[in-house]
């Protein structure tokens, strides 16, 4: 029996969840239960007889009770991400987490390992309900009565990254687009380094608290966009700089009426208004540090 006992995983079918399952050893972790809305989507990732799908959502208390029954550790990755309405972020990221924590506490789970976001610590969270929901999620975990280890990743890149897809759209438009000067620093992290930190944390059952999770390189946002454009188009080309403040304000005004047709939200532009780096703070002893370089994060990009 592995030292963590059975694992209950939410968000198993997402970008990070699939990479985490690929890194976990079935010999070491023979019992993994995965919450997923459409179990058939997960079939290829369930590599051991004891790795099973539990059909349901974070709104379904019965499914959550089944998910966590007998589990030693919950790994909580599920979230409403990307473009969504404020109520959806609250329903999934705050109220869904609250239900999961209640189920875990009732089942005697020993620890929850969760992914929050660097955005939870953004000083400027105007019009950004994702960020406020992640901050509220952290509060729910802190008060939930189950020891928790919370990671705050920066933007997670790699093959299949939803964030990378969005940045590519901006960077590789006929004229590459940057909101504001693009001088604030970002510190992207490779999805396999995030998965390695999660997997490594399983082996450290007494580690709790909050830790920023960023990659080895810090660079201005504009340099990241230029690197993406160079990779896809062969050269960086000059960028079109749109005024960040007015565009955010205009999107915030337009969202209530035109949400379905807007290409992005005011909140998503918060990444251009806040440093996307992790503070220099002690890193939990024994955990693997992210090391994969930016070149590896962008290697899936092609013309
Ligand atoms: N990607 C990034 O750049 C980034 C950066 C910082 C933090 N994070 C955090 O890292 C975590 C994983 O992100 P990701 O990129 O893997 O996200 P993702 O690809 O969007 O996957 C989200 C997952 O959450 C699940 N989910 C959404 N709503 C749900 C609900 N109501 N009930 C149950 N499951 C639900 C989805 O389930 P189905 O598979 O059933 O659809 C999916 O598996 C999230 O907490 C995110 O906030 C991500």
Q: How confident is the model at residue 137 (pLDDT cuts 50, 70, 90)?
A: very high
In a domain, 165, yes or no: no
- Percent of the chain's residues with pLDDT above 70: 99
Report how far ligand 1's centroid is from the alpha carbon of 21 (Å): 14
**pTM score, two decimals?**
0.97
Report how far ligand 1's centroid is from the alpha carbon of 238 (Å): 34
In 3-state terms, what secondary structure has residue 187?
Answer: coil
Q: How confident is the model at residue 186 (pLDDT cuts 50, 70, 90)?
A: very high
Nearest ligand 1 atom to alpha carbon 163: 3
In a domain, 236, yes or no: no
Instruction: Name residues whose C-beta falls within 8 Å of residue 291's C-beta, 6 or more positions apart in sequence.
Output: 193, 216
In a domain, 182, yes or no: no
- Percent of the chain's residues with pLDDT above 90: 93
What is the arithmetic mean of pLDDT over 206-223? Answer: 97
CB 134 within 8 A of CB 96: no
Angle, nearest 10°, between helix axes 61-68 and 97-107? 40
In a domain, 220, yes or no: no
CATH classification of the domain holding 52: 3.40.50.720
Quote the Cα angle for 256-259-265, to 5°.
100
H-type alpha helices, the chain: 15-23, 61-68, 86-89, 97-107, 129-142, 162-171, 191-202, 221-233, 244-258, 294-297
Residue 1 has a pLDDT of 40
Host domain of residue 150: 7-158+188-215+277-291
- Of residues 183 and 282, more confidence is placed in 183
Other beta carbons within 10 angstroms of residue 142's beta carbon come to 11
Number of domains observed in the structure of the chain: 1
- Residue nearest ligand 1's atom 37 by CA: 11
In a domain, 173, yes or no: no
In a domain, 211, yes or no: yes
Residue 62 has a pLDDT of 98
Q: Is 54 in the pocket of ligand 1 (CB under 6 A)?
A: no
Q: What would the pLDDT profile of 21-74 be if each residue is shown by its tens digit? A: 999 999 999 999 999 999 999 999 999 999 999 999 999 999 999 999 999 999
Q: What would the pLDDT profile of 259-276 be if each residue is shown by its tens digit? A: 999 888 999 899 999 999
Give the whole-angstrom CA distance, residue 53 versus residue 42.
7
- Please list the helix, strand and coil fractions of the chain in percent, rounded to the nearest 5, in that order: 40, 15, 40
In a domain, 46, yes or no: yes
Q: What would the pLDDT profile of 65-121 be if each residue is shown by its tens digit? A: 999 999 999 999 999 999 999 999 999 999 999 999 999 999 999 999 999 999 999
CB 268 within 8 A of CB 83: yes
In a domain, 300, yes or no: no
């Amino acid at each position: 029996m592995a030292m963590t006992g059975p694992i209950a995983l939410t968000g198993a079918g997402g970008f990070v969840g699939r990479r985490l399952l690929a890194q976990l050893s079935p010999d070491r972790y023979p019992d993994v239960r995965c919450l997923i809305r459409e179990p058939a989507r997960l079939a290829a990732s369930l590599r051991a007889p004891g790795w099973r799908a539990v059909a349901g959502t974070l709104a379904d208390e019965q499914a959550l009770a089944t998910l966590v029954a007998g589990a030693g550790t919950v790994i909580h990755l599920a979230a409403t991400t990307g473009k969504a309405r404020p109520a959806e972020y609250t329903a999934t990221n705050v109220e869904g987490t609250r239900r999961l924590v209640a189920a875990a506490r009732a089942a005697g789970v020993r620890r929850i390992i969760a992914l929050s976001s660097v955005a939870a610590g953004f000083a400027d969270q105007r019009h950004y309900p994702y960020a406020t929901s992640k901050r509220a999620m952290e509060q729910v975990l802190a008060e939930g009565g189950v020891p928790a280890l919370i990671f705050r990743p920066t933007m997670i890149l790699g093959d299949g990254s939803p964030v990378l897809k969005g940045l590519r759209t901006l960077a590789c438009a006929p004229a590459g687009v940057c909101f504001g000067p693009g001088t604030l620093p970002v510190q992207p992290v490779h999805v396999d380094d995030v998965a390695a930190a999660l997997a490594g944390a399983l082996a450290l059952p007494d580690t709790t608290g909050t830790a920023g999770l960023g990659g080895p390189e810090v660079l201005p946002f504009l340099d990241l966009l230029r690197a993406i454009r160079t990779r896809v188009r062969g050269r960086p080309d000059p960028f079109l700089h749109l005024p960040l403040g007015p565009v955010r304000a205009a999107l915030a005004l337009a969202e209530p009426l035109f949400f379905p047709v807007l290409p992005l939200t005011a909140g998503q532009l918060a990444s251009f208004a806040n440093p996307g780096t992790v503070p220099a703070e002690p890193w939990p002893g024994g955990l693997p540090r992210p090391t994969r370089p930016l070149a590896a994060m962008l290697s899936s990009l092609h013309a």
